[in-house]
Amino acid sequence: MRKTCSKPGAYKKRMFIVVEGLDGCGKTTQCKAINEWLTQKGEKTVLTGEPSSNRVGLFLREILIGAQKTDPKTIALLFTADRYWHLDKEVKPALEDGNIVVMERYVNSTIAYQSAQGVDEGWIREINRYAIKPDLTIYMDIEPEIGAQRADSGEIFENREFQEKVYQQYMKQDDMVRIDANQTQNQVFNEIKAVIKPLLGK
Protein backbone atom coordinates (compact mmCIF):
# COMPACT_ATOMS: atom_id res chain seq x y z
CA MET A 1 0.00 0.00 0.00
CA ARG A 2 1.40 3.40 -0.97
CA LYS A 3 2.11 5.94 1.73
CA THR A 4 1.11 9.55 1.29
CA CYS A 5 3.36 12.32 2.60
CA SER A 6 1.60 15.20 4.31
CA LYS A 7 4.22 17.87 3.60
CA PRO A 8 3.86 20.50 0.84
CA GLY A 9 4.77 19.05 -2.53
CA ALA A 10 4.13 15.56 -1.20
CA TYR A 11 4.09 12.53 -3.44
CA LYS A 12 3.05 8.92 -3.07
CA LYS A 13 5.85 6.43 -2.85
CA ARG A 14 6.54 2.71 -2.52
CA MET A 15 10.09 2.58 -1.14
CA PHE A 16 13.47 4.24 -1.66
CA ILE A 17 16.51 2.08 -0.83
CA VAL A 18 20.10 3.37 -1.03
CA VAL A 19 23.28 1.28 -0.87
CA GLU A 20 26.44 3.06 0.25
CA GLY A 21 30.07 2.21 0.91
CA LEU A 22 33.69 2.51 -0.10
CA ASP A 23 34.91 1.72 -3.58
CA GLY A 24 35.29 -2.05 -3.94
CA CYS A 25 32.80 -2.94 -1.17
CA GLY A 26 30.41 -4.75 -3.53
CA LYS A 27 27.66 -2.12 -3.87
CA THR A 28 27.01 -2.74 -7.56
CA THR A 29 26.74 -6.50 -7.11
CA GLN A 30 24.38 -6.20 -4.15
CA CYS A 31 22.20 -3.53 -5.80
CA LYS A 32 21.67 -5.86 -8.75
CA ALA A 33 20.92 -8.76 -6.41
CA ILE A 34 18.41 -6.68 -4.43
CA ASN A 35 16.69 -5.57 -7.62
CA GLU A 36 16.48 -9.12 -8.97
CA TRP A 37 15.19 -10.49 -5.66
CA LEU A 38 12.48 -7.84 -5.39
CA THR A 39 11.44 -8.39 -9.00
CA GLN A 40 11.11 -12.12 -8.35
CA LYS A 41 8.87 -11.27 -5.40
CA GLY A 42 6.55 -9.43 -7.79
CA GLU A 43 7.65 -5.91 -6.90
CA LYS A 44 7.95 -3.11 -9.45
CA THR A 45 11.51 -1.85 -9.22
CA VAL A 46 13.88 0.71 -10.67
CA LEU A 47 17.63 0.18 -10.35
CA THR A 48 19.71 3.34 -10.61
CA GLY A 49 22.75 5.10 -9.20
CA GLU A 50 24.88 8.19 -8.99
CA PRO A 51 26.24 9.90 -11.00
CA SER A 52 23.18 9.84 -13.26
CA SER A 53 23.10 9.58 -17.04
CA ASN A 54 22.40 13.26 -17.67
CA ARG A 55 25.01 15.76 -18.86
CA VAL A 56 26.09 16.73 -15.36
CA GLY A 57 26.41 13.07 -14.42
CA LEU A 58 28.47 12.33 -17.52
CA PHE A 59 30.76 15.26 -16.73
CA LEU A 60 31.16 13.90 -13.18
CA ARG A 61 32.21 10.55 -14.62
CA GLU A 62 34.95 12.36 -16.57
CA ILE A 63 36.12 13.96 -13.33
CA LEU A 64 36.09 10.61 -11.52
CA ILE A 65 38.38 8.99 -14.10
CA GLY A 66 40.69 11.99 -14.13
CA ALA A 67 39.81 13.23 -17.62
CA GLN A 68 38.60 16.56 -16.16
CA LYS A 69 39.92 18.35 -13.09
CA THR A 70 38.20 20.69 -10.66
CA ASP A 71 38.20 21.55 -6.95
CA PRO A 72 36.42 19.50 -4.25
CA LYS A 73 33.75 22.13 -3.52
CA THR A 74 32.78 22.21 -7.19
CA ILE A 75 32.59 18.41 -7.20
CA ALA A 76 30.17 18.57 -4.25
CA LEU A 77 28.05 21.14 -6.09
CA LEU A 78 28.05 19.06 -9.28
CA PHE A 79 26.99 15.91 -7.43
CA THR A 80 24.22 17.84 -5.70
CA ALA A 81 22.97 19.39 -8.96
CA ASP A 82 23.03 15.96 -10.61
CA ARG A 83 21.15 14.55 -7.62
CA TYR A 84 18.31 17.07 -7.79
CA TRP A 85 17.93 16.47 -11.54
CA HIS A 86 17.96 12.72 -10.98
CA LEU A 87 15.34 12.97 -8.24
CA ASP A 88 13.00 15.16 -10.25
CA LYS A 89 13.29 13.34 -13.58
CA GLU A 90 13.69 9.70 -12.53
CA VAL A 91 13.46 8.84 -8.84
CA LYS A 92 10.33 10.73 -7.75
CA PRO A 93 8.32 9.70 -10.84
CA ALA A 94 9.32 6.06 -10.24
CA LEU A 95 8.26 6.27 -6.59
CA GLU A 96 4.98 7.95 -7.52
CA ASP A 97 4.31 5.05 -9.90
CA GLY A 98 4.64 2.58 -7.02
CA ASN A 99 8.15 1.33 -7.70
CA ILE A 100 10.80 0.37 -5.21
CA VAL A 101 13.84 2.43 -6.21
CA VAL A 102 17.22 0.81 -5.50
CA MET A 103 20.00 3.38 -5.78
CA GLU A 104 23.77 2.98 -5.61
CA ARG A 105 25.19 6.01 -3.77
CA TYR A 106 23.35 9.13 -2.62
CA VAL A 107 23.82 12.05 -0.20
CA ASN A 108 25.95 10.04 2.24
CA SER A 109 28.56 9.54 -0.48
CA THR A 110 28.93 13.25 -1.12
CA ILE A 111 29.23 13.91 2.60
CA ALA A 112 31.86 11.18 3.05
CA TYR A 113 33.94 11.72 -0.10
CA GLN A 114 33.94 15.50 -0.30
CA SER A 115 34.39 15.89 3.48
CA ALA A 116 37.42 13.65 3.07
CA GLN A 117 38.63 16.17 0.49
CA GLY A 118 38.31 18.95 3.04
CA VAL A 119 34.88 20.39 2.19
CA ASP A 120 32.80 21.51 5.18
CA GLU A 121 30.30 18.81 6.11
CA GLY A 122 27.70 21.28 7.32
CA TRP A 123 27.77 23.09 3.99
CA ILE A 124 27.33 19.81 2.09
CA ARG A 125 24.33 18.91 4.24
CA GLU A 126 22.87 22.38 3.70
CA ILE A 127 22.99 22.25 -0.10
CA ASN A 128 21.42 18.78 0.04
CA ARG A 129 18.64 19.73 2.46
CA TYR A 130 15.96 19.37 -0.20
CA ALA A 131 17.00 15.86 -1.23
CA ILE A 132 14.30 13.37 -0.21
CA LYS A 133 15.14 10.97 2.58
CA PRO A 134 15.56 7.27 1.74
CA ASP A 135 13.39 4.75 3.56
CA LEU A 136 16.52 2.68 4.09
CA THR A 137 20.23 3.38 3.62
CA ILE A 138 22.49 0.33 3.77
CA TYR A 139 26.19 0.83 4.41
CA MET A 140 28.45 -1.92 3.10
CA ASP A 141 31.12 -1.89 5.80
CA ILE A 142 34.52 -3.05 4.58
CA GLU A 143 38.10 -2.33 5.59
CA PRO A 144 39.60 0.39 3.34
CA GLU A 145 42.60 -1.79 2.54
CA ILE A 146 40.38 -4.59 1.22
CA GLY A 147 38.16 -2.21 -0.71
CA ALA A 148 41.15 -0.57 -2.37
CA GLN A 149 42.45 -3.99 -3.41
CA ARG A 150 39.09 -4.96 -4.94
CA ALA A 151 38.37 -1.64 -6.69
CA ASP A 152 39.27 -1.77 -10.37
CA SER A 153 37.43 1.08 -12.15
CA GLY A 154 40.48 3.32 -12.26
CA GLU A 155 38.69 6.24 -10.60
CA ILE A 156 40.70 8.94 -8.84
CA PHE A 157 39.39 8.14 -5.35
CA GLU A 158 40.33 4.46 -5.30
CA ASN A 159 43.70 4.69 -3.52
CA ARG A 160 43.96 3.29 -0.01
CA GLU A 161 45.10 6.51 1.67
CA PHE A 162 42.06 8.44 0.48
CA GLN A 163 39.68 5.55 1.17
CA GLU A 164 40.89 5.59 4.79
CA LYS A 165 39.78 9.22 5.03
CA VAL A 166 36.43 8.43 3.41
CA TYR A 167 35.93 5.53 5.82
CA GLN A 168 36.40 7.82 8.80
CA GLN A 169 33.78 10.21 7.39
CA TYR A 170 31.30 7.37 6.86
CA MET A 171 31.87 6.25 10.46
CA LYS A 172 30.55 9.62 11.67
CA GLN A 173 27.20 9.09 9.95
CA ASP A 174 24.47 7.46 12.02
CA ASP A 175 21.60 7.26 9.52
CA MET A 176 22.66 3.98 7.88
CA VAL A 177 22.19 0.28 8.60
CA ARG A 178 25.64 -1.28 8.60
CA ILE A 179 26.27 -4.64 6.93
CA ASP A 180 29.58 -6.49 7.27
CA ALA A 181 30.80 -6.57 3.67
CA ASN A 182 33.88 -8.66 4.54
CA GLN A 183 31.68 -11.77 4.33
CA THR A 184 30.85 -13.78 1.22
CA GLN A 185 28.43 -12.28 -1.31
CA ASN A 186 25.67 -14.67 -0.23
CA GLN A 187 26.17 -13.90 3.46
CA VAL A 188 26.05 -10.17 2.76
CA PHE A 189 22.94 -10.54 0.62
CA ASN A 190 21.16 -12.61 3.26
CA GLU A 191 21.78 -9.88 5.84
CA ILE A 192 20.51 -7.23 3.41
CA LYS A 193 17.33 -9.22 2.73
CA ALA A 194 16.75 -9.56 6.46
CA VAL A 195 16.86 -5.76 6.76
CA ILE A 196 14.56 -5.11 3.80
CA LYS A 197 11.90 -7.79 4.42
CA PRO A 198 10.20 -6.04 7.39
CA LEU A 199 9.78 -2.90 5.26
CA LEU A 200 7.92 -4.64 2.44
CA GLY A 201 4.69 -4.90 4.38
CA LYS A 202 3.92 -8.37 3.10
Distance CA 168, CA 186 (A): 27
- The string of pLDDT tens digits covering residues 33-49 is 999 999 999 999 999 99
- Sign for the CA dihedral angle at 44, 48, 52, 54 comes to negative
pLDDT confidence of residue 5:
36
**8-state DSSP, 106:** -
Return all residues near 187 (Cβ < 8 A) that are at least 6 apart: none
The CA-based angle 195-86-47, given to 5 degrees, is: 40
| CA–CA distances in Å: residue 92 to residues 20, 28, 36, 158, 188 | 20, 21, 21, 31, 28
pLDDT of residue 55 exceeding 50? yes
pLDDT of residue 1 exceeding 50? no
pLDDT confidence of residue 159:
85
pLDDT of residue 61 exceeding 60? yes
pLDDT confidence of residue 14:
87
Question: In the Cβ-directed half-sphere of 42, how many Cα atoms lie within 13 Å?
Answer: 2
3-state secondary structure of 153: coil
CATH of the structural domain 21-189, one choice from 3.40.47.10, 3.40.50.970, 3.30.465.10, 3.40.50.300: 3.40.50.300
In this prediction, residues 100-118 reach a mean pLDDT of 98
pLDDT of residue 90 exceeding 90? yes
- The string of pLDDT tens digits covering residues 124-180 is 999 999 999 999 999 999 988 887 777 666 677 878 899 999 999 999 999 999 999
Residue 179 φ/ψ, nearest 5 degrees? -120, 135
- The string of pLDDT tens digits covering residues 67-86 is 999 999 999 999 999 999 99
pTM over 0.85: yes
pLDDT confidence of residue 175:
96
Q: pLDDT tier at 110 (50, 70, 90 boundaries)? A: very high
Asked if residues 141 and 181 have their Cβ atoms less than 8 Å apart, the reply is yes
pLDDT of residue 98 exceeding 80? yes
* Average pLDDT score, the chain: 91
Give the H or E element holding residue 101.
Answer: strand 100-104
